[in-house]
């Protein structure tokens, strides 16, 4: 069964309300943690007349009550230039959070114990794990904005697109 928001479709309201007319949340991956659904969100803002004039503003966490699907709160996770809402992988008793550098193809990794994304994050710094987000280093430099990671035995497998080949329709 697929559950949806109890907001009527004709009200044109997002599940995660926009902070204002120039900003909106883009939902990413989520986890079940206790009696809560936790969804990572990107906050974007528009700054021009072109629909693609958008700027990444930070990573937030939406907390939803699992029993009634009410949005309890939205909290700031990070206002760095790493978008931490790309992928989540839970393995053993650790949840790994994967991010991408804003405007780059660099992948970063953070983690929390258990599944509570509101808990204490640590960031891979090239040698181990640090609670200082500014020490996070890229673990891979050629990922597309849409990627996924899977664990297999004791290894992690990254699935991504080739970011060196342009795609789409371009003018000029």
Which is higher by pLDDT, 161 or 169? Answer: 161
pTM: predicted TM-score of the whole model, two decimal places? 0.86
Provide mean pLDDT across the span 63-85. 94
CB neighbour class for 129 (10 Å; exposed up to 12, middle 13-18, buried from 19): middle
- Kindly tell me if the per-residue pLDDT of 112 is higher than 60: yes
When computed from its CA atoms, the radius of gyration of the chain, rounded to whole angstroms, is 17
């Amino acid at each position: 069964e697929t559950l949806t928001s109890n907001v009527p479709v004709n009200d044109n309201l997002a599940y995660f309300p926009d902070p204002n007319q120039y900003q909106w949340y883009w939902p990413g991956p989520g986890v079940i943690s206790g009696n809560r659904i936790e969804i990572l969100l990107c906050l974007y803002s528009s700054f021009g007349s072109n629909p693609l004039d958008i700027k990444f503003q930070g990573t937030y966490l939406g907390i939803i009550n699992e029993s009634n699907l009410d949005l309890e709160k939205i909290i700031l996770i990070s206002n760095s230039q790493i978008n931490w809402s790309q992928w989540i992988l839970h393995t053993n008793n650790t949840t790994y959070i994967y991010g991408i550098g804003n405007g780059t193809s660099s992948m970063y990794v953070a983690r929390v114990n258990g599944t509570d994304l509101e808990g204490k994050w640590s960031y891979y710094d090239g040698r181990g794990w640090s609670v200082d987000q500014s020490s996070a280093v890229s673990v891979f430099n050629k990922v597309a904005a849409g990627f996924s990671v899977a664990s297999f035995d004791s290894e992690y497998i990254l699935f991504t697109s080739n970011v060196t080949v342009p795609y789409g329709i371009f003018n000029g």
